[in-house]
Amino acid sequence: MSDRKAVIKNADMSEEMQQDAVECATQALEKYNIEKDIAAYIKKVPR
Note the pLDDT tens digit of each residue in 3-40: 778 999 999 999 999 999 999 999 999 999 999 999 99
Number of domains comprising the chain: 1
- Containing domain of residue 39, as a range? 15-44
**Reported confidence tier of residue 46, pLDDT bands at 50, 70, 90:** confident
Specify if 8 maps to a domain: no
Look at residue 1 in the predicted model and tell me its pLDDT.
Answer: 46
Which pLDDT does position 2 carry in this prediction?
Answer: 60
The answer to whether 29 and 1 are in contact (CB under 8 A) is: yes
pTM: 0.79
Residue 28 CB-density burial (10 A; 0-12 exposed, 13-18 middle, 19+ buried): buried
Is position 34 within any domain? yes
